[in-house]
A and B are shown apart, each in its own frame.
Chain A
């Protein structure tokens, strides 16, 4: 968190001494905490309604056009196994096909019967049919994400949050430091003391990638699927290489965000779920002390 805020908050908190060596800092500002949790809601609902929309045409193309009959490089479908007469889910990426029965292509419906659908009903909003409803959810959440994101970006720029907390320091950017940080991550070794007062460099890279690259790509590639928006902003076609390319990039980038979210949650668990969750709810974070020397 911001050094500036650290000192301010730390002064307030230090007045009530805790056990020796236990230092509490004010890690997340109110704006960061609120926008974070709104983002969690947006992300979950955008993902699930997006998968519901995807289910209506579960194939991805490249270029200006794409429809059943045009070579697709990712397809989630189903086929009947002629020997067992069983319906099997098939996910194809390029020339490689996987059987994904149970999750992708074929999954159980509410009554437990195998149903042909790309993503399973427990991953989609709405869980049953309803393309228009899925789109309503998707766009309402997209609007919320936009407003939330704008508030966060403005706050980040003007409060110093980006400069102090997210921009890697010169020291952190040294290759030796980055390699060491990767090594520490691989060993699941958590930072202590001073190093635990701010984000580590991989963490900063990940957050910056999400905030400055992945989310803007999601928003812009999403807008490229709108015939109205692209009438006003046709350069979006050139940016993504066509409407179907934009749809594919939208899907793949969503996958990267899911990957980020999974790693993010795993890291929270590794780093101490209670302390991390408290920090994102109350702002207060207990710094892991240096090993006694």
Chain B
């Protein structure tokens, strides 16, 4: 449902408003002053959240018996195409995670190398921005550890996650899913690159072999099928320039709600 409704948004653009008032609201929200007001609202939320979270508290973790019986997948359930299929069949033996951009030591890590790093396991809520919540157990390596290994350059401000799932097929192959967070979230202890879920390997529909868990934000920020991590100074030269696949289509970059 998530994907269908958002695809509708993707292709459908803004449908004509029903009543005059609503048509008005739809139209005015794209005018510069109102867009600025809406953006200001986003900024206020970000600033308030950062103030509340200054001590970097952890999100609530649950007991294993509180894991929800099921966990609906968000977004792509399996990337299309042979390259991913072959990787999947070989259990991601030849898959590698590269860490590059504004780092002193670019990395190329195999799944086994990532699993050999100190792991963190957490049972947390997953909140889709549409309103549903599931609880799952995630095992992975803290993103901060990987970034420390790569040693960020001082100018690095954002971490970009490039994914293997192509959301829209374009001639220039620019339609792959991507996401980004800033260093405040990147170095939070519960921000992990997860390769395990509910005690087993991360299932394909949940982003195998590696997905991001950024627990203080909603579902679409948790990039799945991550294969390349890029530290950058600014986001405007990547993808559509807004910091993520959905962000390029009007979604909020900061999604702590």
Interface residues of A (CB under 8 A from B): 45, 48, 53-54, 56-57, 64-70, 109-110, 120-122, 124-133, 135-137, 139-140, 142-143, 225-234, 237, 243-244, 247
CB neighbours (8 Å) of A237 from chain B are: 60
B127 within 8 A of A: yes
The CA-CA distance from A66 to B41 in the complex, in Å, is 28
Can you name 17 extra interface pairs (CB under 8 A) apart from A139-B42, A227-B125? A56-B129, A56-B131, A67-B71, A67-B132, A67-B134, A125-B22, A126-B26, A127-B26, A130-B9, A130-B26, A135-B129, A137-B29, A226-B256, A227-B215, A227-B257, A229-B49, A244-B133
CB neighbours (8 Å) of B131 from chain A are: 53-54, 56-57, 247
Across the interface, do A56 and B130 meet the contact criterion of CB distance under 8 Å?
yes
The CA-CA distance from A262 to B52 in the complex, in Å, is 37
Across the interface, do A136 and B41 meet the contact criterion of CB distance under 8 Å?
yes
Most chain-A Cβ atoms within 10 A of its Cβ — which of B37, B131, B252?
A: B131
The CA-CA distance from A54 to B5 in the complex, in Å, is 13
Question: A66-B133, A129-B5, A228-B49 known; A243 and B127 CB under 8 Å?
Answer: yes
Which stretch from B11-19, B82-90, B93-101, B172-180 is at the chain A interface? B11-19
Closest CB-CB distance, B49 to chain A, in whole Å? 4
Q: Which residue of A lies closest to B38 (CB)?
A: A136
CB neighbours (8 Å) of B68 from chain A are: 65, 67, 70
Across the interface, do B15 and A231 meet the contact criterion of CB distance under 8 Å?
no
Across the interface, do A132 and B250 meet the contact criterion of CB distance under 8 Å?
yes
The CA-CA distance from A237 to B57 in the complex, in Å, is 15
The CA-CA distance from A57 to B256 in the complex, in Å, is 19
Q: Which residue of A lies closest to B246 (CB)?
A: A132
Across the interface, do B25 and A109 meet the contact criterion of CB distance under 8 Å?
no
Closest 6 CB pairs of A and B: A228-B256, A128-B15, A140-B41, A57-B131, A232-B52, A127-B22
Across the interface, do B52 and A229 meet the contact criterion of CB distance under 8 Å?
yes
Question: A122-B18, A227-B125 known; A64 and B133 CB under 8 Å?
Answer: yes
Across the interface, do A57 and B135 meet the contact criterion of CB distance under 8 Å?
no
B72 within 8 A of A: yes
Question: A67-B133, A67-B134, A228-B49 known; A136 and B15 CB under 8 Å?
Answer: no
Interface residues of B (CB under 8 A from A): 1-2, 5-6, 8-9, 12, 14-19, 22-23, 25-26, 29, 37-38, 40-42, 44-45, 49, 52-53, 57-60, 62, 66, 68-72, 125, 127-135, 215-218, 246, 249-252, 256-257
CB neighbours (8 Å) of A54 from chain B are: 131
The CA-CA distance from A231 to B217 in the complex, in Å, is 10
Across the interface, do A140 and B38 meet the contact criterion of CB distance under 8 Å?
yes
Most chain-B Cβ atoms within 10 A of its Cβ — which of A45, A66, A135?
A: A135
Closest CB-CB distance, A229 to chain B, in whole Å? 6
Closest CB-CB distance, B133 to chain A, in whole Å? 5
The CA-CA distance from A244 to B128 in the complex, in Å, is 12
Across the interface, do B29 and A69 meet the contact criterion of CB distance under 8 Å?
no
Across the interface, do A65 and B26 meet the contact criterion of CB distance under 8 Å?
no
18 A-B residue pairs with Cβ-Cβ distance under 8 Å, sorted by A, are A66-B132, A67-B132, A121-B17, A125-B25, A126-B14, A128-B12, A131-B129, A131-B251, A132-B252, A133-B38, A136-B29, A140-B37, A225-B257, A227-B215, A228-B52, A229-B257, A231-B216, A232-B52
